[in-house]
């Protein structure tokens, strides 16, 4: 193998390792933003996510996504993927897939049956995620043909997770005590330091998430990756700043949980266009997502009355879709403000709509069946006592 190819593989593997670590970040964020009586359950869901993702994606998910194209819609599935010279790719795609699955976990935390969750997680891994992924990233998918840009997965990974999350959170219903006489109550997370550490780890992992999606490092890719890391970092910072300022002005205090969500919103938002926009564009996308995430959380919580303990729907669903569409505005080539007209913007919107339609409808079908069969939700007693005691027989914190 020539040195350039080895260099490319090295970067993809390292980036994949960074993305792997995001699982720890998600675990921390979800744990920190929920109550201590459900900590074991949240940990278990996040771990098993990745376990199922690893096995399921290798078993069949990878080829559904990246196998030879069938009618621009789906890859040709084959079992136990085993091409020795694509192992780095299998790894990188596996950690992406697991990210998408894990997003749902936060939105339905503190009330969902563990066994049901595991089954849904498997469906994400082998069905929901790979199919829309194929449309965009396999090379022959119909969205690729249209010219749709989702560089690292604002839509393919995050919005798909966010769409599954909103369906799941709606079907499973709000936590007991969340809506009292139709008014939304605050249920503060039990350890905001865990939340913050989780966000730092996610931010770290995102350099691999976006940078690795270049899928190369040699030649011109080196500068491209450096540029991606800068746009990623600027958007994250801008998202955090925007959320801080908005909450400070609106509630009189700089709100930590919103600031953290703002950072994540900025990261999700830049993911689609990270390679296509300038640092200034990244600043704009980050600021927009940081503001939007605050209002989206309020809207979903207070108007839609969907109970999303960690804000996963807003962060991943809303900012994922929005970030993808904004590529049509800020892309240096083809973006609206660079004189590219409305073409790219249109394509981006179509792509977002199509992926969202797929993810929403298939999630609904799968979850509705699960609801009617084994059920989505634990009993009220289990929920009030905490899932840790009943589902796992141990509490996370002892003497």
| Contact residues: other proteins, CB under 8 A | 177, 184-186, 188, 247, 250-253, 255, 257-258, 261, 294, 297-298, 301-302, 311, 381, 384-385, 389, 393-394
CA distance linking residue 247 with residue 63, whole number of Å: 45
CA distance linking residue 101 with residue 129, whole number of Å: 8
Among other proteins, its own copies, none, residue 346 binds (CB under 5-8 Å by kind): none
Collapsing DSSP to helix, strand or coil, 179 comes out as: strand
Shortest separation between residue 294's beta carbon and its own copies, angstroms: 15
Among its own copies, other proteins, none, residue 294 binds (CB under 5-8 Å by kind): other proteins
Q: 325, 239, 231: which is closest to 278 by C-alpha?
A: 231
Q: Give residue for tokens 């589902």.
A: 391
Q: What is the DSSP letter of 177?
A: T
Q: Is 393 left (phi over 0), alpha (psi -120 to 50) or beta?
A: left
Shortest separation between residue 339's beta carbon and other proteins, angstroms: 38
Options 63, 66, 75, 91; binder of its own copies; rule CB under 8 A: 91
Question: Candidates 50-58, 334-342, 352-360, 368-376 — which segment interacts with its own copies by CB under 8 A?
Answer: 50-58
Shortest separation between residue 115's beta carbon and other proteins, angstroms: 17
* Number of residues located near its own copies, criterion CB under 8 A: 106
Among its own copies, other proteins, none, residue 287 binds (CB under 5-8 Å by kind): none
Instruction: Report whether 113 contacts 376 (CB < 8 A).
Output: yes
Among its own copies, other proteins, none, residue 5 binds (CB under 5-8 Å by kind): its own copies
CA distance linking residue 184 with residue 229, whole number of Å: 38
Shortest separation between residue 259's beta carbon and its own copies, angstroms: 7
- Facing residues of 377 across strands? 112
CA distance linking residue 238 with residue 224, whole number of Å: 21
- Facing residues of 184 across strands? 179
Q: What is the DSSP letter of 186?
A: P
Shortest separation between residue 166's beta carbon and other proteins, angstroms: 17
Q: Report helix angle 319-330 to 279-298, nearest 10.
A: 150
Shortest separation between residue 391's beta carbon and other proteins, angstroms: 12
Among other proteins, its own copies, none, residue 354 binds (CB under 5-8 Å by kind): none
Based on CB atoms, which residue is closest to other proteins, 155 or 247?
A: 247
Shortest separation between residue 360's beta carbon and its own copies, angstroms: 29
Question: Candidates 35-43, 165-173, 176-184, 298-306 — which segment interacts with its own copies by CB under 8 A?
Answer: 35-43
Among other proteins, its own copies, none, residue 260 binds (CB under 5-8 Å by kind): its own copies
Based on CB atoms, which residue is closest to its own copies, 68 or 220?
A: 220
Q: What is the DSSP letter of 317?
A: I
Give the pairing of strands 74-75 and 69-70: antiparallel
- Rounded to a whole number, what is the largest CA-CA distance in the chain? 67
Shortest separation between residue 91's beta carbon and its own copies, angstroms: 5
Based on CB atoms, which residue is closest to its own copies, 253 or 372?
A: 253
Please tell me whether residue 175 binds its own copies under the rule CB under 8 A.
Answer: no
Radius of gyration of the chain (CA): 20
Buried b (16+ CB within 10 A) or exposed e, 381-394: ebbeebbbbebbee
CA distance linking residue 246 with residue 243, whole number of Å: 5
Instruction: Report whether 103 contacts 124 (CB < 8 A).
Output: no
- Here's the x/- map for its own copies, 257-296, by CB under 8 A: it reads as x-xx--x--------------xxx--x-------------
Among its own copies, other proteins, none, residue 301 binds (CB under 5-8 Å by kind): other proteins
Based on CB atoms, which residue is closest to its own copies, 146 or 222?
A: 222
């Amino acid at each position: 193998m020539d040195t350039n190819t080895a260099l490319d593989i090295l970067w993809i593997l390292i980036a994949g390792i960074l993305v792997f670590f995001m699982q720890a970040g998600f675990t921390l964020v979800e744990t920190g933003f929920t109550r201590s009586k459900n900590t074991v359950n949240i940990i278990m869901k996040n771990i098993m996510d990745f376990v199922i993702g690893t096995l399921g994606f290798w078993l069949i998910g990878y080829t559904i996504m990246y196998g030879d194209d069938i009618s621009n819609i789906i890859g040709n599935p084959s079992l136990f993927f085993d091409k020795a010279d694509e192992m780095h790719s299998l790894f990188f795609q596996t950690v992406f897939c697991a990210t998408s699955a894990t997003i749902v976990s936060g939105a339905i935390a503190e009330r969902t049956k563990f066994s049901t969750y595991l089954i849904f997680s498997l469906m994400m891994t082998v069905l929901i995620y790979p199919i829309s992924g194929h449309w965009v990233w396999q090379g022959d998918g119909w969205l690729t043909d249209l010219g749709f840009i989702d560089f690292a997965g604002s839509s393919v990974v995050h919005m798909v997770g966010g769409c599954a999350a909103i369906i799941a959170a709606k079907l499973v219903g709000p936590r007991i005590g969340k809506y009292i006489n139709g008014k939304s109550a605050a249920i503060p997370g039990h350890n905001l330091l865990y939340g913050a550490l989780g966000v730092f780890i996610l931010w770290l992992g995102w350099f691999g998430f976006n940078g690795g999606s270049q899928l190369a490092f040699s030649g011109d890719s080196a500068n491209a990756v450096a540029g991606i890391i800068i746009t990623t970092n600027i958007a994250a910072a801008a998202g955090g700043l925007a959320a801080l300022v908005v909450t400070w002005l609106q509630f009189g205090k700089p709100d930590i949980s919103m600031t953290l969500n703002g950072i994540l919103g900025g990261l999700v938002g830049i993911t689609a266009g990270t390679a296509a926009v300038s640092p200034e564009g990244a600043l704009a996308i980050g600021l927009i997502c940081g503001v939007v995430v605050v209002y989206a959380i309020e809207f979903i919580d207070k108007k839609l009355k969907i109970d999303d303990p960690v804000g996963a729907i807003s962060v991943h669903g809303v900012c994922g879709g929005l970030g993808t569409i904004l590529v049509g505005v800020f892309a240096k080539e083809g973006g609206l403000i660079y004189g590219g007209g409305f073409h790219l913007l249109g394509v981006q919107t179509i792509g977002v709509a199509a992926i969202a339609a797929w993810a929403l409808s298939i999630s609904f079908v799968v979850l509705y069946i699960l609801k009617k069969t084994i059920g989505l939700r634990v009993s009220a007693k289990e929920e009030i006592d905490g899932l840790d005691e009943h589902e796992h027989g141990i509490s996370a914190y002892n003497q």
